[in-house]
Chains A and B, each alone.
Chain A
Amino acid sequence: GQSLEQPSEVTAVEGAIVQMNCTYQTSGFYGLSWYQQHDGGAPTFLSYNALDGLEETGRFSSFLSRSDSYGYLLLQELQMKDSASYFCAVTISSGSARQLTFGSGTQLTVLP
Protein backbone atom coordinates (compact mmCIF):
# COMPACT_ATOMS: atom_id res chain seq x y z
CA GLY A 1 0.00 0.00 0.00
CA GLN A 2 0.89 3.66 0.05
CA SER A 3 1.45 5.99 2.97
CA LEU A 4 2.36 9.66 3.19
CA GLU A 5 3.39 11.71 6.21
CA GLN A 6 2.92 15.46 6.55
CA PRO A 7 3.08 17.71 9.61
CA SER A 8 -0.45 18.60 10.64
CA GLU A 9 0.05 22.33 11.23
CA VAL A 10 2.48 25.12 10.39
CA THR A 11 2.27 28.78 11.40
CA ALA A 12 4.27 31.64 9.87
CA VAL A 13 4.06 35.41 9.53
CA GLU A 14 3.29 37.43 6.45
CA GLY A 15 6.34 37.95 4.24
CA ALA A 16 8.19 34.96 5.65
CA ILE A 17 9.27 31.69 3.98
CA VAL A 18 7.76 28.36 4.99
CA GLN A 19 8.69 24.80 4.08
CA MET A 20 6.19 21.94 4.29
CA ASN A 21 7.60 18.42 4.18
CA CYS A 22 6.23 15.16 2.85
CA THR A 23 7.65 11.67 3.20
CA TYR A 24 6.13 8.72 1.42
CA GLN A 25 6.22 4.96 1.08
CA THR A 26 4.76 3.54 -2.08
CA SER A 27 5.18 1.13 -4.95
CA GLY A 28 4.78 2.15 -8.58
CA PHE A 29 5.88 5.71 -7.82
CA TYR A 30 5.45 8.05 -10.76
CA GLY A 31 5.69 11.51 -9.21
CA LEU A 32 4.84 13.83 -6.31
CA SER A 33 2.24 16.56 -6.57
CA TRP A 34 1.13 19.39 -4.31
CA TYR A 35 -2.40 20.73 -4.00
CA GLN A 36 -3.81 23.70 -2.11
CA GLN A 37 -7.26 23.64 -0.54
CA HIS A 38 -8.98 26.57 1.15
CA ASP A 39 -11.69 25.83 3.71
CA GLY A 40 -14.78 24.41 2.03
CA GLY A 41 -13.22 24.56 -1.42
CA ALA A 42 -11.84 22.16 -3.97
CA PRO A 43 -8.15 21.25 -4.15
CA THR A 44 -6.20 23.12 -6.81
CA PHE A 45 -2.98 21.92 -8.38
CA LEU A 46 0.24 23.72 -7.42
CA SER A 47 3.20 21.72 -8.69
CA TYR A 48 4.55 18.36 -9.72
CA ASN A 49 7.93 16.63 -9.53
CA ALA A 50 8.76 13.44 -11.37
CA LEU A 51 12.53 13.82 -11.19
CA ASP A 52 14.88 14.78 -8.38
CA GLY A 53 15.41 18.46 -7.89
CA LEU A 54 13.65 21.76 -7.48
CA GLU A 55 10.77 23.10 -9.56
CA GLU A 56 9.91 26.78 -9.24
CA THR A 57 6.65 28.49 -10.12
CA GLY A 58 6.50 32.06 -8.92
CA ARG A 59 6.44 32.15 -5.11
CA PHE A 60 6.06 28.37 -4.93
CA SER A 61 8.86 25.81 -5.25
CA SER A 62 8.69 22.06 -4.88
CA PHE A 63 11.51 19.62 -4.28
CA LEU A 64 11.79 15.86 -4.69
CA SER A 65 14.39 13.31 -3.64
CA ARG A 66 13.34 9.91 -4.95
CA SER A 67 16.17 8.12 -3.14
CA ASP A 68 14.97 9.55 0.20
CA SER A 69 11.24 9.24 -0.63
CA TYR A 70 10.96 12.84 0.44
CA GLY A 71 9.70 16.11 -0.93
CA TYR A 72 8.79 19.58 0.23
CA LEU A 73 6.82 22.61 -0.83
CA LEU A 74 8.41 26.01 -0.25
CA LEU A 75 6.32 29.17 -0.12
CA GLN A 76 8.09 32.53 -0.23
CA GLU A 77 6.84 36.03 0.56
CA LEU A 78 3.88 34.61 2.43
CA GLN A 79 0.54 36.36 2.05
CA MET A 80 -2.59 36.09 4.15
CA LYS A 81 -4.36 34.37 1.26
CA ASP A 82 -1.85 31.50 1.49
CA SER A 83 -3.60 30.31 4.66
CA ALA A 84 -4.98 26.95 3.54
CA SER A 85 -4.36 23.21 3.68
CA TYR A 86 -1.57 21.83 1.54
CA PHE A 87 -1.61 18.21 0.44
CA CYS A 88 1.14 16.18 -1.09
CA ALA A 89 0.04 13.34 -3.34
CA VAL A 90 1.93 10.53 -4.98
CA THR A 91 1.02 9.49 -8.49
CA ILE A 92 1.22 5.75 -8.87
CA SER A 93 1.14 4.00 -12.18
CA SER A 94 -0.60 0.75 -13.00
CA GLY A 95 -0.42 0.19 -16.73
CA SER A 96 -2.04 3.20 -18.34
CA ALA A 97 -3.91 4.09 -15.16
CA ARG A 98 -2.71 6.95 -12.97
CA GLN A 99 -3.94 7.25 -9.41
CA LEU A 100 -3.29 9.86 -6.76
CA THR A 101 -2.87 8.96 -3.10
CA PHE A 102 -3.05 11.99 -0.80
CA GLY A 103 -1.42 12.76 2.51
CA SER A 104 -3.51 14.12 5.38
CA GLY A 105 -2.38 17.65 4.67
CA THR A 106 -0.63 20.49 6.46
CA GLN A 107 -2.77 23.36 7.70
CA LEU A 108 -0.84 26.60 7.08
CA THR A 109 -1.81 29.65 9.10
CA VAL A 110 -0.30 32.97 8.03
CA LEU A 111 -0.30 35.64 10.73
CA PRO A 112 -0.17 39.38 10.08
Chain B
Amino acid sequence: DGGITQSPKYLFRKEGQNVTLSCEQNLNHDAMYWYRQDPGQGLRLIYYSQIVNDFQKGDIAEGYSVSREKKESFPLTVTSAQKNPTAFYLCASRLRDNEQFFGPGTRLTVL
Protein backbone atom coordinates (compact mmCIF):
# COMPACT_ATOMS: atom_id res chain seq x y z
CA ASP B 1 0.00 0.00 0.00
CA GLY B 2 1.15 3.56 -0.72
CA GLY B 3 1.91 5.82 2.17
CA ILE B 4 4.40 7.79 4.23
CA THR B 5 6.73 6.15 6.71
CA GLN B 6 8.34 8.04 9.56
CA SER B 7 10.83 6.40 11.84
CA PRO B 8 11.27 6.01 14.66
CA LYS B 9 7.92 6.66 16.35
CA TYR B 10 9.62 7.79 19.58
CA LEU B 11 13.12 9.24 19.80
CA PHE B 12 15.14 10.30 22.80
CA ARG B 13 18.31 12.34 22.57
CA LYS B 14 20.62 14.18 24.90
CA GLU B 15 20.79 17.94 24.76
CA GLY B 16 23.41 19.19 22.31
CA GLN B 17 23.20 16.19 19.96
CA ASN B 18 22.06 16.39 16.37
CA VAL B 19 19.34 13.93 15.39
CA THR B 20 17.92 12.97 11.99
CA LEU B 21 14.26 12.04 11.50
CA SER B 22 13.40 9.84 8.56
CA CYS B 23 10.52 10.39 6.11
CA GLU B 24 9.93 8.07 3.17
CA GLN B 25 6.99 8.05 0.72
CA ASN B 26 6.06 5.69 -2.10
CA LEU B 27 3.22 7.84 -3.39
CA ASN B 28 5.26 9.38 -6.22
CA HIS B 29 4.47 12.86 -4.89
CA ASP B 30 6.78 15.70 -5.83
CA ALA B 31 6.10 18.04 -2.90
CA MET B 32 7.00 17.12 0.68
CA TYR B 33 6.75 19.04 3.96
CA TRP B 34 7.99 18.96 7.56
CA TYR B 35 5.88 20.33 10.41
CA ARG B 36 6.38 20.69 14.11
CA GLN B 37 3.51 20.40 16.59
CA ASP B 38 3.70 21.39 20.25
CA PRO B 39 1.10 20.24 22.80
CA GLY B 40 -2.28 21.89 22.24
CA GLN B 41 -1.03 23.77 19.22
CA GLY B 42 -1.41 23.66 15.47
CA LEU B 43 1.22 22.59 12.98
CA ARG B 44 4.03 24.94 12.04
CA LEU B 45 5.94 24.57 8.78
CA ILE B 46 9.68 23.91 9.12
CA TYR B 47 10.81 23.17 5.55
CA TYR B 48 9.24 22.11 2.29
CA SER B 49 10.47 20.74 -1.00
CA GLN B 50 8.69 21.06 -4.33
CA ILE B 51 11.09 18.85 -6.26
CA VAL B 52 14.26 16.79 -5.88
CA ASN B 53 17.38 18.80 -4.97
CA ASP B 54 15.31 21.86 -4.06
CA PHE B 55 13.85 22.97 -0.73
CA GLN B 56 12.70 26.16 0.99
CA LYS B 57 12.51 27.38 4.56
CA GLY B 58 9.16 27.50 6.25
CA ASP B 59 8.11 29.64 9.19
CA ILE B 60 10.40 28.07 11.82
CA ALA B 61 13.47 26.76 9.96
CA GLU B 62 16.10 27.97 12.44
CA GLY B 63 17.95 25.05 14.03
CA TYR B 64 16.79 22.56 11.40
CA SER B 65 18.21 21.28 8.10
CA VAL B 66 16.88 19.04 5.33
CA SER B 67 17.98 17.32 2.14
CA ARG B 68 16.06 16.02 -0.87
CA GLU B 69 18.38 13.78 -2.83
CA LYS B 70 15.63 11.36 -3.85
CA LYS B 71 11.97 11.91 -4.62
CA GLU B 72 10.99 9.32 -2.02
CA SER B 73 13.01 10.68 0.88
CA PHE B 74 12.99 13.96 2.82
CA PRO B 75 15.00 13.59 6.07
CA LEU B 76 14.97 16.32 8.72
CA THR B 77 17.97 17.00 10.99
CA VAL B 78 17.32 18.69 14.31
CA THR B 79 20.57 20.39 15.20
CA SER B 80 21.96 21.51 18.55
CA ALA B 81 21.12 25.08 17.52
CA GLN B 82 17.39 24.35 17.96
CA LYS B 83 16.62 25.72 21.43
CA ASN B 84 13.47 23.72 22.20
CA PRO B 85 13.53 20.57 20.06
CA THR B 86 11.13 18.46 22.11
CA ALA B 87 7.98 18.20 19.95
CA PHE B 88 5.90 16.01 17.64
CA TYR B 89 7.30 16.09 14.09
CA LEU B 90 5.08 15.36 11.12
CA CYS B 91 6.08 14.76 7.52
CA ALA B 92 3.59 15.20 4.69
CA SER B 93 3.38 15.02 0.93
CA ARG B 94 1.01 16.89 -1.35
CA LEU B 95 -1.71 14.73 -2.79
CA ARG B 96 -3.46 17.51 -4.65
CA ASP B 97 -3.29 21.30 -4.60
CA ASN B 98 -5.70 21.31 -1.70
CA GLU B 99 -4.75 18.21 0.26
CA GLN B 100 -1.70 16.97 2.14
CA PHE B 101 -1.20 13.40 3.28
CA PHE B 102 0.57 12.97 6.60
CA GLY B 103 2.86 10.33 8.00
CA PRO B 104 2.34 8.92 11.52
CA GLY B 105 4.84 11.32 13.10
CA THR B 106 7.93 11.09 15.31
CA ARG B 107 7.79 12.21 18.92
CA LEU B 108 11.19 13.65 19.85
CA THR B 109 12.19 14.15 23.46
CA VAL B 110 15.44 15.86 24.35
CA LEU B 111 16.69 15.02 27.81
Q: Chain A interface (Cβ within 8 Å of chain B)? A: 4, 30-31, 33, 41-45, 48, 50, 87, 89, 91, 96-105
Q: A97-B56, A99-B48 are in contact. Are A45 and B100 (CB under 8 A)?
A: yes
B64: Cβ under 8 A from any A Cβ: no
A87 and B43 contact, CB distance less than 8 A: yes
The tally of CB-CB contacts under 8 A between chains A and B is: 59
Could you list 16 further interchain pairs (A-B, Cβ under 8 angstroms) beyond the known A97-B56, A102-B35? A30-B98, A41-B104, A42-B90, A43-B90, A43-B102, A45-B100, A48-B98, A48-B99, A91-B97, A91-B98, A99-B45, A101-B45, A102-B43, A102-B44, A103-B42, A104-B42
Q: List 14 A-B contacts (CB under 8 A).
A: A41-B104, A41-B105, A42-B103, A42-B104, A44-B102, A45-B95, A91-B97, A91-B98, A97-B48, A98-B97, A99-B48, A100-B45, A102-B43, A103-B42
The main secondary structure of chain B at its interface with chain A is strand
The main secondary structure of chain A at its interface with chain B is strand
CB neighbours of A101 from chain B (8 A): 45, 59
Q: Chain B interface (Cβ within 8 Å of chain A)? A: 31, 33, 35, 40-45, 48, 50, 56, 58-59, 90, 94-95, 97-105
B27 CB to nearest chain A CB (Å): 14
B74 CB to nearest chain A CB (Å): 15
Docked pose: A41 CA to B58 CA in angstroms? 22
Docked pose: A101 CA to B35 CA in angstroms? 10
A42 CB to nearest chain B CB (Å): 4
B97 and A43 contact, CB distance less than 8 A: no
Docked pose: A91 CA to B48 CA in angstroms? 14
B44 and A42 contact, CB distance less than 8 A: no
Docked pose: A41 CA to B41 CA in angstroms? 14
Docked pose: A103 CA to B99 CA in angstroms? 16
Closest residue of chain B to A42 (Cβ to Cβ) is B102
Closest residue of chain B to A96 (Cβ to Cβ) is B50
